[in-house]
Amino acid sequence: MSATIPAVVLGGTGYVAGELLRLIAGHPQFQLAAVMSDSQPGEPLGTAFPHLASIFADTRFKSQAEVEKLIVGTPQAAVFSAAPHGVSAALIDSLLKAASGAGTRPRVVDISADFRYSSAQAYEAVYKHPHGAPGRIGEFTCAVPEHLQKLETPHVAHPGCFATATLLASVPLLALGLVPPTLFVSGVTGSTGAGRKPIEGTHHPVRHSDLYSYNALSHRHAPEVAACARAASGVEADFAFVPHSGPYARGIHVTVQASLKSPLDTARVLAALRDFYAGSAFVRVTDRAPRVKEVATSNYAHLSAAANGRTVAVMCAVDNLNKGAAGGAVQWMNRMFDLPEDSGLTAPAPGWT
């Protein structure tokens, strides 16, 4: 496809939306058509994102009604939803109903949790409120692009930031039968992972020069990781997940540990990881331990491993806003429109953030 593709961002004032806008600004074929914000309709985009003001100087946030009008008049569009979970599903449902009535066919990547589960009951058990569009669940597939060769549904649910890093590290171990289906995960995330609205856990004086765990063994993303791992590897696995808040803004570092079924050394585990991700443009397996600064702001994932014959540890570093959210969504949308998967996503990390 060579024509310009209209891009629409829903829930347009948060950190992930800002990262989507930054990536769309540099994309060779996606062109921003609308940014929806019901809280700030008519306001200049630069009010929420001063760093993007010079690029989108004449762009203003649109209401839901304005966005639906645009979708109705656009044969195909790339729709990215950065709306919160519990809000995104109903918003997407309304937009798709309007498109269906007009005979247009937008493709959607939802970055919220609303379409990550295979049933409304599974979603409601974790998020404790009714699903906003249960009839749409079957139209979405939840996976990281590296783990699904062919997409069978019209739309995608992005697995999220902690899930992306954990899945990249753990799925090869499960799919290759190297470990039993019990994995122990320790992850550290930057403060942007908690969203734009300040809360106790993200307030800088609290988080600065500190490190602490939260929701140990009860984090709501653990069931999502297990579901995606099962779909990607065919193995029903248990993930004992302990997340931590790190004293930095961007990036995630995850360590996945498990017992080995058969003795393996580090070299053989690294070789297995390299072979598993041989065709993946954004996954790099290195001998040295991955560092957050080497991937922060980029769509790349760095993996490494260590093994002592009895136990294996796989480490993964990704950027939570890019590879773990906006970049992964653009990567999926590239595939959905038959574009090169790395279009608009090849910029390396600056290294000194």
Per-residue H/E/C for 338-353: CCCCCCCCCCCCCCCC
State the CATH number of the domain containing residue 85: 3.40.50.720
Residues 54 and 133 in one domain: yes
pTM: 0.96
Kindly state whether residue 170 falls inside one of the protein's structural domains.
Answer: yes
Residue 179 located in a structural domain: yes
The answer to whether residues 264 and 237 belong to one domain is yes
- Residues 100, 26: one domain? yes
Q: What pLDDT score was predicted for residue 200?
A: 77
From first to last of its 353 residues, the chain has per-residue pLDDT tens of: 558 999 999 998 999 999 999 999 999 999 999 999 988 899 999 999 999 999 999 999 999 999 999 999 999 999 999 999 999 999 999 999 999 999 999 999 999 999 999 999 999 999 999 999 999 999 999 999 999 999 999 999 999 999 999 999 999 999 999 999 999 999 999 988 877 777 777 777 888 899 999 999 999 999 999 999 999 999 999 999 999 999 999 999 999 999 999 999 999 999 999 999 999 999 999 999 999 999 999 999 999 999 999 999 999 999 999 999 999 999 999 999 999 999 999 999 999 87
CB-count exposure of residue 230 (10 Å: 0-12, 13-18, 19+) = middle
Order of strands, sheet of 5-10, starting from the edge strand that comes earlier in the sequence: 30-35, 5-10, 78-81, 107-110, 155-157, 140-142
Helix (H) or strand (E) holding 103: none
Domain assignment present for residue 325? The answer is no
Q: Is residue 334 part of a domain?
A: no
Active site residue 316: no
| pLDDT of the residue at 12 | 85
The residue behind tokens 């791992």 is 229
Tell me whether residue 340 is in a domain.
Answer: no
Say if residue 179 is in the same domain as residue 315. Answer: yes
Question: Residue 34 is encoded by which pair of tokens?
Answer: 């609308």
CATH number of the domain within which 261 lies: 3.30.360.10
For 9, list phi and psi in degrees, rounded to 5.
Answer: -115, 125
Tell whether 183 and 305 lie within a shared domain. yes
Helices and strands, number each (H, E), in the chain: 10, 13
- 3-class DSSP assignment, residue 76: coil
Tell me, yes or no, whether 35 and 133 share the same domain: yes
Overall domain count for the chain: 2
- Residue 133 falls inside a structural domain: yes
Among candidate residues 142, 172, 200, the one where a domain is terminated: 142
Range of the domain at 45: 5-142
Are 73 and 119 in the same domain? yes
Q: 262: helix, coil or strand?
A: coil
Pull the structure tokens for residue 109.
Answer: 């990547």
Q: For the purposes of burial, counting CB atoms within 10 Å of the CB of 326, is it exposed (0-12), middle (13-18) or buried (19 or more)?
A: buried
In a domain, 333, yes or no: no
**Identity at 192, one-letter amino acid code:** T
For residues 67 and 103, state if they share a domain. yes
Name the CA radius of gyration of the chain, rounded. 20
Co-location of 94 and 17 in the same domain: yes
Residue 160 to residues 47, 115, 311: CA-CA distances in angstroms? 27, 11, 27
**Do 22 and 137 belong to one domain?**
yes
pLDDT given for residue 2 in this prediction: 59
Distance separating alpha carbons of residues 328 and 278, to the nearest angstrom? 18
Alpha-carbon span 59 to 78, nearest angstrom:
18
The token pair that represents 146 in the structure block:
């590296």
Catalytic residue among 142, 161, 228, 316: 161
| Statement to judge: residues 108 and 173 lie in one domain | no
Looking at the domain assignment, is residue 332 inside a domain?
no
